[in-house]
Chains A and B, each alone.
Chain A
């Protein structure tokens, strides 16, 4: 644990990328191999099996620190991170000796399923002997959410430097469902067979197109398609494996049983990149995202939901064909092979081509893009016909050209401090629109402003608090903001009867008085438009 804590301190103690890569590289060359594997796992979003609930952690920590639970909760609200709060409130321990990272994880894993007293005794014993940084990291192993200011890409780069293995090759090897408990380091980084047959490729990502497409040059070299609002997924059919992965590297095959027939019809050695959508077969377009959302959290899907929100994949790209990795081939060729493949499937399969949008000129495409909302798409994707399938986000070849958001002017009525980086700043606001003489809360938003603006609003909130409810403060309805969002849906769960998709603050409207904000009726009109 000591060298892992030292790595953490080095990463946390700098904002310079080069210093972070250097610290990681050294760690990947010197740390015990089992610890390296776990570090790779943690920095790529994997985590040990959860052995303790956060409720237990809170109660045990408050008890160990000799304070009432409410004071612990106040502290947590201020710090914004449970693992850190616990590390800070416990009495200082002199961390003399600590087992290795992998040994601690092994013991934590063994605790799962044990009785409360056994687990409590083990956790308290660790707290009592770990130094401050080790204690924070130990807690993070339990709570998850390891953020060390290191992206997976940065970690892969350092691992590449440390091992001499090509970065893109490594990125692929680290995908999928390998287990850090059983995977030896050398096999993980050196052997292609290390992953299971269902191992996905790293997803290629697009950058937002901020200006018009004219900057991209000759339209002839570009292909356009709809940018769907679903779950980006990778469908894998290989000998002995049929798998659906989400972009978050989650295996979601079982959540979408309607794809199962594809296992009988897709040729072995096929990997397709596409969008999973809940499909409205009558209207020939996706159902609202909220319908798909109902299916995301479920491991098993009730029949009713399968009927109400049937899933479909719209295919974007072909990454592997007849077992051959196509990612270096130009998009145009991959797309042509994808069309042949999909055309060969029988009728009624839940896999279709995401239609290409034909266009002769940028003006023509701009006009067609206007139809995105009717298609229930977020906008248009632009891909260079000659582009390979990149690892991650590489600017230049793939662009997402989203529709301008819908906007509404609303007034802030509640404010809450943020978490993590934004603890101690009021950043999470609840907004209301007018309904006659009343104000009706209709959305929350917590991004879109600068740190300076959040600082100014924080001071205002502190001076103007009317009431406190735990971490939430009620403020007078005075500050007006332009709220942008991508979609609007009916929602019986909300007082306003509506729910927004991707709400965020576009700007602070200091120029706008409260009596000029938008109305609930106006939002209902938008709802009618969107149901079209």
Chain B
């Protein structure tokens, strides 16, 4: 007999009727299971939140007073008629895929994910499932990431060359996740200064025990004179701003998966761009989906139309789910995400 699907798609978000909860909803709900702390997934206004222990501190910092319960990776919790578990998504520290099981039928919501270990976020773990709800931010074959150590070496070289030319290096990166991954991944050749938005998250993650190098908040009086040749990590919106000019002679660059496309980098009038993404690339998306062993795939945000068609040509029962997660443009560098 045909039963209700384990998860359904509503105008408030992904909903589990048998557990009466939502996953990453974008309108206020009673009970929200949250994959990770980025603002398009962890929104304000829900009554109760459930997220990994590792995700909660940043969520509390961003959302203020919330009623939230933590869960360990791999821990199984019964909610109504389903069993729920959280598994590393490799996207940012604390990020999770959420598995929902009902009598042996498993559906997994990926949230945002990346397959390659980045040395900071808990490493992506493929979960066998029947249906996989996947992001596809970079779901076109033009997106193929280099191994992380190669990009980090590129960034270190750029920083060293700037320092040798007595310039500060200002690196634009999303303040939660990307910024910390970069500071942990570059070769330390000098002090790392941070924009306030970056420093707040960095301090929280450091207190949680994530291995992060020493940073100095770039308050008034901290600049290229006090810290010659420093690396500054700031949100993308700070690039080219009055705040960035206070450092004196400087080079700016932006770290994002979108930097793989020359036209996007040039539109921002940026010289240097480093291709570093916290999302899976084309090969990563395909490998992750294969590894689930699933038959059905729902793609949410990103290049959904071509990616769905590609999956269905690969033999998957593939559909598109319209969500309000950072779709295309919100993930673009103009918005500062990705």
Using CB atoms and an 8 Å cutoff, list the residues of chain A in contact with chain B: 12-16, 65, 67-68, 70-71, 74-75, 78-81, 84-85, 88-89, 92, 149, 419-425, 451, 455, 458-459, 462, 468
Contact = CB atoms under 8 A, between A and B. Distances in A.
Contacts of B188: none
A167 to B, nearest CB: 25
A420 B140 contact: no
A13 B263 contact: no
Interface in B35-55: none
Contact of B334 (A75, A85, A421, A455): A455
A89 B142 contact: yes
Interface in B298-338: 303, 305-306, 309-310, 313, 327-330, 332, 334
Given A15-B269, A459-B330, A462-B329, A421 B263 contact: yes
Contacts of A16: 271
Contacts of A71: 140-141, 306, 309-310
Contact of A75 (B142, B267, B327): B142
Given A70-B306, A74-B305, A79-B261, 6 more contacts: A13-B272, A68-B313, A71-B310, A81-B262, A424-B261, A424-B263
A74 B269 contact: no
Given A14-B271, A79-B142, A422 B329 contact: no
B225 interface: no
Contacts of B305: 74, 468
Contacts of A455: 329, 334
B270 interface: yes
A422 B267 contact: yes
14 contacts: A14-B272, A16-B271, A71-B141, A71-B306, A89-B141, A92-B144, A421-B263, A422-B263, A423-B263, A424-B264, A424-B332, A459-B329, A462-B327, A468-B305
A79 B266 CA distance: 12
A468 B261 CA distance: 23
B142 A451 contact: no
Main secondary structure of the interface of A (DSSP, over half): helix
Interface size class of chain B, counting residues whose CB lies under 8 Å from the partner chain: 20 to 34
A462 to B, nearest CB: 6
Nearest to B258: A424
Contacts of A424: 258, 261, 263-264, 267, 328-329, 332
A458 B329 contact: yes
Interface of B: 140-144, 258, 260-264, 266-267, 269-272, 303, 305-306, 309-310, 313, 327-330, 332, 334
B263 A88 contact: no
A18 B267 CA distance: 20
Contacts of B309: 70-71
Nearest to A62: B141
Contacts of B303: 74, 78
Contacts of B310: 71
Given A462-B329, A468-B305, A421 B266 contact: yes
With a 10 A CB-CB cut-off, give which of A149, A419, A421 has the most chain B CB atoms. Answer: A421
B263 A81 contact: yes
A343 B264 CA distance: 55
A419 B267 CA distance: 11
A423 B144 CA distance: 18
B243 to A, nearest CB: 19
Contacts of B266: 149, 420-421
A85 B261 CA distance: 9
B315 to A, nearest CB: 14
A424 B258 CA distance: 10
Nearest to A14: B271
B261 A84 contact: yes
Contact of B262 (A12, A65, A468): A12
A78 B307 CA distance: 13
A421 B140 contact: no
Contacts of A451: 267
- By Cβ-Cβ distance, the 6 closest A-B pairs, closest first, are A423-B263, A88-B142, A74-B306, A14-B271, A421-B266, A75-B142
A261 B142 CA distance: 55
Contact of B264 (A67, A423, A459, A468): A423
A38 to B, nearest CB: 22
A80 B263 CA distance: 8
Contacts of A65: 141
A67 B143 CA distance: 14
A80 B266 CA distance: 12
A67 B140 CA distance: 11
B130 to A, nearest CB: 26
Given A88-B142, A462-B328, A468-B305, A15 B271 contact: yes
Contacts of B272: 13-14
B141 to A, nearest CB: 5
Given A423-B261, A451-B267, A78 B329 contact: no
B144 A421 contact: no
A404 to B, nearest CB: 30
B282 to A, nearest CB: 9
A16 B250 CA distance: 12
Nearest to B264: A424
Contacts of A14: 271-272
A146 to B, nearest CB: 13
A201 to B, nearest CB: 32
B260 A88 contact: yes
A84 B272 CA distance: 17
Contact of B263 (A70, A74, A92, A419): A419
B318 to A, nearest CB: 14
A426 to B, nearest CB: 9
Nearest to A66: B141
Nearest to B327: A462
A163 B88 CA distance: 60
B21 to A, nearest CB: 27
B142 A85 contact: yes
A215 B269 CA distance: 33
A11 B270 CA distance: 12
Contacts of B271: 12-16
